[in-house]
Amino acid sequence: MKKIINNPENVVQEMLEGMAAAYPQYVRKLDGFDVMVRADAPVKGKVALVSGGGSGHEPSHAGFVGKGMLDAGVAGAVFTSPTPDQVFEAIKAVDGGAGVLLIIKNYTGDVMNFEMAGEMAEAEGIKVASVVVNDDVAVEDSLYTTGRRGIAGTVFVHKIAGAKAEAGGTLEEVKAVAEKVIANTRSMGMALTPCIVPAAGKPTFTLAEDEMEIGMGIHGEPGTKRTHIMPADELVDHLMEKIVEDLPYKSGDEVAVMINGLGATPLMEQFIMNRRVSQILKEKGIAVYRTFVGEFMTSIEMAGASITLLKLDDELKELLDAQADTPAFRQL
């Protein structure tokens, strides 16, 4: 294992301390908890958004804490759900009196622990609602999941629900727009190499030099198939077929596209993938409204990428275009 770390047991805490030192204008770390909150939290009168999950997916989720997106990002151990206590502390720290929306990726541990924290907060008089993101079309049930997994499409939920909250939406309105994003978001990914969890010290799975895995999860969960490495256009054709089939599109629809690198995929390759995505959408008469290319939800140092499509309407376009100012996403 080659990593720039100290003690593998301390990677999450040291990462968050480094992030807090880099971005004091955006975030601060809660004392005694692996939780990052907005520097100005709690924002009085605004619905607060809390998300999180296991670490190893940076910049998700703490990188999206700031104006127009999240109020708190809760960091579990690497690839491990945060505890209910961590989430509860995050909720209390960011509650500005208008309620708190929990944005949960669909993994059994995340759902259970976030919902438990929500109940703890409600017992203290804080109004809490939650949504569960399940954008991955690859598999229905997986290693840590009942139903579909939540992957990079979650970042669109952060962005759009965050914009609605920033604009003064009520908890019910913010939840409704988050659910609209979830209903219209589809993603699928692939991997060329595994990743190494620092505490484990060995790869999460193995792939031969000439192999790739289609549809694997962001924690290395099994995908739909292993195959010989194929040209980029053929790979994108396969992923896009699954994504587009799953949410019927018609000519004239508008979408936002996200090409998400999983940690070790050069931008060169991500742009080559986007080239084919844009060609396919043009052939289908689907208009690309906005495209985002880069690392939004990684899997430590995995080589691979995912494609996300979000079908847009006028409300979603306006909120997608709204200002956001966070360490990992700036749109001014």
| pLDDT tens sequence across 247-299 | 989 999 999 999 999 999 999 999 999 999 999 999 999 999 999 999 999 99
- What does each C-alpha distance from 11 to 72, 83, 120 come to in angstroms? 19, 17, 28
- pLDDT for 143: 74
- pLDDT for 142: 77
- pLDDT for 137: 97
Flag residues of the chain having pLDDT under 70.
none
- What does each C-alpha distance from 124 to 45, 90, 112, 280 come to in angstroms? 18, 14, 19, 51
- pLDDT for 248: 87
* 3-class DSSP assignment, residue 85: helix
- What does each C-alpha distance from 244 to 142, 186, 227, 237, 240 come to in angstroms? 21, 8, 21, 10, 6
Q: Rg (Cα) of the chain, in Å, rounded?
A: 19
- How far is Cα 136 from Cα 106, in angstroms, rounded to an integer? 10
One-letter amino acid at 127 equals: K
List residues with catalytic annotation.
57, 219
- pLDDT for 145: 83
Contact 294, 268 (CB under 8 A): no
- How far is Cα 325 from Cα 112, in angstroms, rounded to an integer? 30
Q: What is the pTM of this model?
A: 0.98
- How far is Cα 71 from Cα 319, in angstroms, rounded to an integer? 17
Question: What are the tokens at 194?
Answer: 């595994």
Furthest-apart CA atoms within the chain: distance in Å: 56
What sign has the CA pseudo-torsion 314, 320, 324, 330?
A: negative
Residue 109, phi then psi, degrees to nearest 5: -65, -40
